[in-house]
Amino acid sequence: MKKIIIIFIGFIFITTNVYAVQKYKTKHNPFTNKQDYVIDVSNIEAGDVTASGTVSGVTIIQSGVPVGSGSGAPTDAHYYTDQAETGLSAEVVVTGLKTLNGIAKGNGSGAFSAATEGSDYLAGTRIDDTKGNGDTAYTWSADKSFDQFALKGAIAGQVWTGVHDFGGADSLEVPNAASLTLDAAGEVGVNSTHKGFAWYDGTQEVFEPSIRTIQFNLGTAEYDTDPDVWSLDLDADTFPHGIYFTKVYVDCNEADPTTELNADLKYCDAVGAGAFPGANAAVIKALDTTTGNMSDTAVNTAVSAGKTVYVTIDADPTSDTTLFHVKIQFYVPES
What CATH number does the domain containing 233 carry? 2.60.120
- CA dist., res. 137 & res. 115, Å (int): 30
pLDDT band at 32 (very low <50, low <70, confident <90, very high): very low
Q: 278 and 251, same structural domain?
A: yes
Listed ranges 51-55, 67-71, 315-319; the one with the highest mean pLDDT: 315-319
Q: Picking from 87-96, 124-133, 305-314, which range would have the lowest pLDDT averaged per residue?
A: 124-133
Q: Sign of dihedral through CA atoms 71, 73, 75, 77? A: negative
pLDDT band at 330 (very low <50, low <70, confident <90, very high): very high
Residue 190 counted as domain residue: yes
Angle at 205 (CA atoms; ends 201, 207), nearest 5 degrees: 105
pLDDT band at 219 (very low <50, low <70, confident <90, very high): confident
Q: 258 and 243, same structural domain?
A: yes
- CA proximity to 246, closest of 288, 198, 202, 303: 303
Q: 222 and 203, same structural domain?
A: no
Q: 131 and 227, same structural domain?
A: no
What's this model's pTM, rounded to 2 decimal places? 0.53
Q: 289 and 318, same structural domain?
A: yes
- Please name the amino acid found at residue 78: H
- CA dist., res. 244 & res. 253, Å (int): 28
Strand partners, 296: 248
Q: 325 and 306, same structural domain?
A: yes
CB 60 within 8 A of CB 41: yes
CB 197 within 8 A of CB 210: yes
Q: 220 and 259, same structural domain?
A: yes
- CA dist., res. 158 & res. 155, Å (int): 7
Residue 285 counted as domain residue: yes
> Could you give the 3-state DSSP secondary structure of residue 248?
strand
pLDDT band at 94 (very low <50, low <70, confident <90, very high): low
Q: Picking from 103-112, 118-127, 302-311, 325-334, which range would have the lowest pLDDT averaged per residue?
A: 118-127
Q: 327 and 215, same structural domain?
A: yes
Q: Report the share of the chain in percent with pLDDT over 90.
A: 32
- CA dist., res. 242 & res. 303, Å (int): 6
Whether a cis peptide bond, with omega within 30° of 0, leads into 277 is: yes
CB 36 within 8 A of CB 59: yes
Whether pLDDT at 185 is above 60: yes
Q: 215 and 205, same structural domain?
A: no
Residue 62 counted as domain residue: no
Q: 202 and 184, same structural domain?
A: yes
- CA proximity to 79, closest of 94, 61, 64, 62: 94
Residue 104 counted as domain residue: no
Whether pLDDT at 290 is above 90: yes
- CA dist., res. 33 & res. 29, Å (int): 6
* List of residues 6+ apart from 302 with CB closer than 8 A: 242, 243, 244, 245, 333
Whether pLDDT at 241 is above 80: yes
Residue 170 counted as domain residue: no
Residue 60 counted as domain residue: no
Listed ranges 122-136, 145-159, 219-233; the one with the highest mean pLDDT: 219-233
Segment 3-32 shows an average pLDDT of 47
Strands 58-62 and 37-40 come out as parallel
**Residue 7, phi then psi, degrees to nearest 5:** -60, -40
Whether pLDDT at 118 is above 70: yes
Whether pLDDT at 8 is above 60: no
Residue 211 has a pLDDT of 93
Between residues 49 and 213, the one the model is more confident about: 213
Residue 294 counted as domain residue: yes
Residue 39 counted as domain residue: no
Range(s) of the domain holding residue 143: 127-156
Q: 304 and 276, same structural domain?
A: yes
Question: Could you tell me if residue 64 is left (phi over 0), alpha (psi between -120 and 50 degrees) or otherwise beta?
Answer: left
Q: Which of 164, 186, 209 is the last residue of a domain?
A: 209
Between residues 18 and 319, the one the model is more confident about: 319
Q: 204 and 259, same structural domain?
A: no
- CA dist., res. 76 & res. 164, Å (int): 57
Domains contained in the chain, number: 3
- CA proximity to 213, closest of 282, 317, 313, 299: 299
Q: Picking from 8-12, 54-58, 82-86, which range would have the lowest pLDDT averaged per residue?
A: 8-12
